[in-house]
Structure 1
Amino acid sequence: MCTDFLLKAADGSVVNGRSMEFGAELNSRILVVGRGTPMHSTTPDLSHGLRWTCKHGIVAINAFGLPIATDGVNQAGLSVGVLWLPGITEYASTASDPSRALFVGQLANWLLASFATVGEVRESLAGVDIWGGGKAVEQRLPVHFAVHDRHGHSIVIEFTDPSGKPTVYDNPAAVLTNAPAFPWHLSNIDNFVGLRARDAEPLEAAHTAFNPCGHGSGMRGLPGDSTPPSRFIRAFYLKRFASQPADAAAARNLALHLLNTVDIPLGTSRSLPENGKTEDDYTQWAVVKTLTAPSLGIRTYGNTTLMEIDLKQIDLETPGERTYPVPTEPVAIDISATLRPR
């Protein structure tokens, strides 16, 4: 389970927040890919498929020690997030042209390496044959994609058509979670249009005034559980009603507060037992990306301090893929020494 959203500041800054929830330990690392890196995908027969050269340097977060991006941003301010979509995802199992074959697990890498805008991404998808490796992969890697750019444009890419071809949706909500499919979530917004940031009006009956119990009554009915529909609605309405941030720093701060509202503590979202085992979905990490001045900040379950990477401050001109550990130990700032008598 994951939650993704986009924020726009008053000064034009664009910030993307995303949480990563998963049951199995991802053991994620920071993945850095330099410009000029040759890259390729595999085909259904495991030979070389689509080949490309990294045009835009990338900073991403991987999983399971594999060189695949689960979330990332490139030098041009394009952001791609890979989110879980089980039960309804169907990929093509073959590629009509092996030279155009792109494994779905490498789609985020290709998009980040190759494109600068949502418009370019949309146009590019017709030029590749995205395949998924059959039912085994559909069960292990059922995903959809949140794509944003520095101009504040957002799309969602899903594979829910029986043909296995991708469907691209404009994302006016600028929010994405998990199943059901994206159009269902947009329709579900209608069920909560009565939510308000302002308190409810008092009611008078039989010469008696009945007042709301404290502030926040206008948001009564906002779902608070960890299911994808509830997280989508929560992120959408809180984002909508929050005061617009003035600049990138304020937008990053708001993103962290919104991420707090969809955070899943370990042990609070457990799967039904399967083969005698249960899995605990929990927030393993969350990222905050500034797209207008590309950077990626990450915090983990064990270290909630945001650790930021400025793409202009690292070497993205040397070709090659490199990975680095994500600090996971708790960090606290000791201010005891500042509390001295004056």
Structure 2
Amino acid sequence: GQCKNVTEARKLLSNLNLVKIDFSAKLHLSPLHWLIADKSGEAIVVESTAEGLNVYDNPVGVLTNNPEFPKQLLNLSNYQSISPAYPENTLIPEVKLSTYSRGFGSRFLPGGMDSESRFVKEVFTKAHAPKGKSEIENITDYFHNLHAVEQQKGLDQVAPGQFEYTIYSDGINLTTGTFYYSTYDNNQINAVKLEEDKLEQTELLQYPLQSKQTINFQN
């Protein structure tokens, strides 16, 4: 809330120290990673490690959990040949190989629920996402990008009978302040608009979370 852009955030981060103190006895510290971005598209990653607080340029505009961000970027080099286009036959160019499916350019794109696989897939998805001509088009594409790496129930076991899953997905229009979100139980994109006339008030505004599925029955 003290910065209007990434440049100002960098200056504050240079004097920031995180302390190793649990929030409470029931809420312990968690190894969090932060992505800070502004309207220009510039983005940085902030990670606190044993060596201290690290701030990295983020050229891909994507962030996930461990490993640390430099290792995530290095891992991308393993997938430089991934493409939306059909690959050229460089294995045996003189032999015409038969095909049986589309999408061979992305055949070796990782699809696991682990953070490293999801990082690679989201970088690929974001890099090739179309640029819409309207707010609705861009928001629709944005949520398709997020859903490409969401975790469904039953696929990522964290304990016997317990599974991690994507509780919600969200995004903000940094120009209008409009907050968009969907939940696991409600695929509909919901929006809360920033109302200029209410910015100066002192009372907290609350909007109920739309977590009940909405289906458009056509008959």
Q: TM-score range by the shorter chain?
A: 0.7 to 0.9
Contact 1:201 1:212 (8 Å CA) reproduced? no
Deviation at 1:247, TM superposition (A): 4.1
1:223 paired with 2:110, answer yes
When the two structures are superposed, what TM-score results if normalisation uses the length of structure 1?
Answer: 0.58
1:145 paired with 2:34, answer yes
When the two structures are superposed, what TM-score results if normalisation uses the length of structure 2?
Answer: 0.88
1:4 alignment counterpart:
none
Can you list the C-alpha shifts for 1:171-221, whole angstroms capped at 9, x where unaligned? Answer: 00110011000110011110100111111235897x863133222111110
For 1:23-172, list aligned pairs within 5 A: 113-133=1-21, 140-162=29-51, 165-172=52-59
Misfit runs of 4+, over 6 Å: 135-138
SS in structure 2 at match of 1:201: coil
Larger RCO, structures 1/2 (Cα 8 Å, 6+ apart): 1
1:248 paired with 2:150, answer no
Q: Which structure dedicates a bigger proportion of its chain to strand?
A: 1
Structure 1 stretches of 5 or more lacking a match? 1-112, 337-342
Contact 1:204 1:210 (8 Å CA) reproduced? no
d(CA) in 2 for partners of 1:212 and 1:245?
32
Q: Select the residue among 313, 324, 327 that pairs with 2:210.
A: 327
Tell me which amino acid in the other structure corresponds to 2:30.
L
Residue-pair matches, total: 218
SS in structure 2 at match of 1:190: helix
For 1:266-281, list aligned pairs within 5 A: 266-273=153-160, 278-281=161-164
For 1:192-271, list aligned pairs within 5 A: 192-201=79-88, 209-271=96-158
SS in structure 1 at match of 2:36: strand
2:175 alignment counterpart:
292
d(CA) in 2 for partners of 1:147 and 1:327?
27
Relative distance call for 1:203 and 1:193 in structure 2 (3 A) is closer
d(CA) in 2 for partners of 1:138 and 1:175?
27
Structure 2 stretches of 5 or more lacking a match? none
d(CA) in 1 for partners of 2:42 and 2:57?
8
1:282 paired with 2:165, answer yes
d(CA) in 2 for partners of 1:203 and 1:223?
22
Q: CA RMSD in A?
A: 2.6
How much identity, in percent, do the aligned residues show?
A: 26
Deviation at 1:231, TM superposition (A): 0.5
1:56 alignment counterpart:
none
2:190 alignment counterpart:
307
Deviation at 1:246, TM superposition (A): 3.2
